[in-house]
Amino acid sequence: MNILACIKGVPEVEDAVAFNADAPDVIADASINLRLNRFDEFVAEASVVLKTRFPGTVIDIVSVGPENAKKAIQRAMGMGADAGYHILSDYSQSCDAVYVANCIGQFAGFRPYDLILAGVMSEDMMQSQTGPMVAQRLSLPWVTSVIHVDVRPDQKTVYVERELEGGIREMIDVTLPAVLTLQSGINEPRYPSISNLIRAIDAGVETITPESLGVVEKKTAMITGYSYPEKTREGLILEGTIKEKALALLKILREKGLLEKNR
Amino acid sequence: MAGQVFAYIKHAQGVADDSAKELVMAAKKINADAPVTAVVTGSGADLDKVCKDMTAFYKAVWKIDNAALAYPNGEVVRKALVNVLPGDAVVLLPHDTFGMDLGPGLSIKMNSSFIADIVGIEGLDGGALKVIRQEFSGQVSTHVSADISNGAVINVRSGVFQADDSIGGANGQLEDKSAAAGDLSAKRKYLETVQAAVGDVDITKSDVLVSVGRGIEEQDNLELIFELAKAMGADVSCSRPIVDAKWLEKSRQVGTSGQTVKPKVYLALGISGSFQHLGGIKGNPFIVAVNKNSKAPIFQVAEVGVEANIIEFVPELTAAIKG
């Protein structure tokens, strides 16, 4: 089986955002440090689990992002993937799901993947777009928010369970090849092994330009500015030492009658 | 100028989802004068009932009736919508597990813009729609100008555009568009749905919830939370990462993918406050937020905020209660 695992390198919020007095600003540039998107750790783990179950499986990692995204690719390879492909873009392009899906779609279109996996969303943009958009680019069936995967290669199908509101599980059969986005908690991601990390660095990550894939940027949505989210409540912020804050909170809860009388 | 505005009506067992009315409110914010059409897919008597109900809120209701649409399978619904809607349609969807599944690919298929999870609409400016969405775990509001002149799919966050009395009495016209749905064969086959497992504690009935998130850092530290809960006479609930790590059972998870709770007091300990988490808290409880990150979105909804590491703060609070 051939698996493509789509991952993203994301910044820590405090590195990417300047919390200015009037309004925040996203200051991410080429120098920003990126790490593996938490939701994509589940993608790398699921791929490796499938490889263990179906010997001969090959796992490719692909990511669209700036130079520093390479570290996220290497980390995913360190969990047990076979090859890494880095489609070079700047950080803001890596946050444009249409662009990213075009890149991954063009990349994957030339290769015989049975299963394409992506995280349910990225921690920074939280759009949940890339996976289903890649599916449409490749005219493949897709399922999002997947919390259980059972591939049946002999039947050319995959049985999945997706999680709906209230923890309801929806059971689905999909024909292969297919695109799945994995919800967090589907597995328990392992730490990369030193030997796999060394192998990942030795094997290298192949860098690909969007131009070589024939992808041209065509933005339909522009960011015009940033602001702070509105507070729905003007909360009281407690001051003082930890102990003073604890006592102040207890006083408020008791005064408002929010604790049982004997407490 | 933008195309006709459509709202996709999610429904089950003959009852429309809350989003059905919220999308009317959102559509009015895009263009108060433009008529909005409800699109309802499904099958049989349940579908007819929902369509009839929607004529009270929408000037036009398009019904797409087909046995293949009896369950809202994203792939089948997408095919029907692509075949029925005009190419420059502006389609509003709820940003839930259904809308997130359907929206992105629908926009690619219709060659239109896609905007995920909007929390605000600033209005139309020619062919551009100005909206607000949130990024970086809800710490930043991002203002976006999207070209919707060739159509758009817009996913609207639940609960943001609250319905009011202004939207009743639309006396809408029902149109049957079933014949235009076309081929609805799919590679995704829906089998069944199964309800979530019931746990040992029913947090939906708790008056006081001590809720723990990633700020707890380690599983062993959970003991601190249970001690506080015991001292307060509260039950322990949690956010998704704690369940993902298998530290607490799924039945204790508060959020859109877990339980919807309605306590009097909600102590959010080390919980950042993603919209998915907040979506599971109803009934306007007294929310106390304790978090070491002063930017955490949970502070936006808290009655009382404490900027502190919960591992230090919780034992102090427990000790204070015990006196």
Percent residues over pLDDT 90 in chain A: 86
Note whether residue A228 is domain-resident.
Answer: no
Domain range for B131 is 5-181
pLDDT band for position A201 (50/70/90)?
A: confident
Interface A-B: count of C-beta contacts within 8 A: 250
Please tell me if residue B321 touches chain A, with a CB cutoff of 8 Å.
Answer: yes
> Torsion angle, CA of B16/B205/A247/A252, rounded to 10 degrees?
60
Note whether residue B11 is domain-resident.
Answer: yes
Note whether residue B189 is domain-resident.
Answer: no
pLDDT band for position A261 (50/70/90)?
A: low
Position A259 scores a pLDDT of 82
Looking at the structure, tell me whether residues A80 and A117 fall in a common domain.
Answer: yes
> Torsion angle, CA of B50/B53/B54/B57, rounded to 10 degrees?
-160
Indicate the residue of A125, A247, A258 with minimum beta-carbon distance to B135.
Answer: A125
pLDDT higher than 80, residue A260: no
Position B1 scores a pLDDT of 57
**B104–A171 CB contact, under 8 Å:** no
Looking at the structure, tell me whether residues A263 and A150 fall in a common domain.
Answer: no
Note whether residue A222 is domain-resident.
Answer: no
- Higher-confidence residue of A139 and A261: namely A139
Task: Find chain B residues with C-beta within 8 A of A17's C-beta.
Answer: 136, 139-140
Overall pTM > 0.90: yes
The alpha carbon of residue A121 is apart from the nearest alpha carbon of chain B, in Å, by: 10
Looking at the structure, tell me whether residues A114 and A242 fall in a common domain.
Answer: no
Q: What is the pLDDT of residues A46-102, one digit of tens each?
A: 999 999 999 999 999 999 999 999 999 999 999 999 999 999 999 999 999 999 999
pLDDT higher than 60, residue A236: yes
Q: What are phi and psi of A125, to 5 degrees?
A: -95, -30
Nearest CA in chain B to A24: B140
Domain closes at, from B151, B181, B211:
B181
Indicate the residue of A171, A228, A232 with minimum beta-carbon distance to B194.
Answer: A171
Note whether residue B302 is domain-resident.
Answer: yes
Interface test with B, best of A96, A156, A233, A262 (most B CBs within 10 A): A233
The alpha carbon of residue B54 is apart from the nearest alpha carbon of chain A, in Å, by: 23
CA distance A229 to A225: 13
CA distance B9 to B172: 15
Interface test with A, best of B121, B137, B142, B156 (most A CBs within 10 A): B142
E-assigned strand segments in A128-246: 142-152, 157-163, 169-175, 178-182, 205-208, 221-227, 236-237
Q: What is the pLDDT of residues A136-182, one digit of tens each?
A: 999 999 999 999 999 999 999 999 999 999 999 999 999 999 999 99
Domain count, chain B: 2
Task: Find chain B residues with C-beta within 8 A of A233's C-beta.
Answer: 287, 300-303
Q: What are phi and psi of A190, to 5 degrees?
A: -80, 165
Looking at the structure, tell me whether residues B105 and B16 fall in a common domain.
Answer: yes
Position B77 scores a pLDDT of 98
Position A218 scores a pLDDT of 82
Note whether residue B188 is domain-resident.
Answer: no
CA distance A123 to B268: 21
Question: What are the distances in angstroms from CA A112 to CA A138, A205, B8?
Answer: 12, 19, 35
Note whether residue B230 is domain-resident.
Answer: yes
Average pLDDT over residues B124-146: 94
Note whether residue A226 is domain-resident.
Answer: no
pLDDT higher than 80, residue A263: no
The ipTM is 0.94
Domain range for A75 is 2-213
Looking at the structure, tell me whether residues A98 and A206 fall in a common domain.
Answer: yes
Indicate the residue of A19, A183, A250 with minimum beta-carbon distance to B320.
Answer: A250
Average pLDDT over residues A23-41: 93
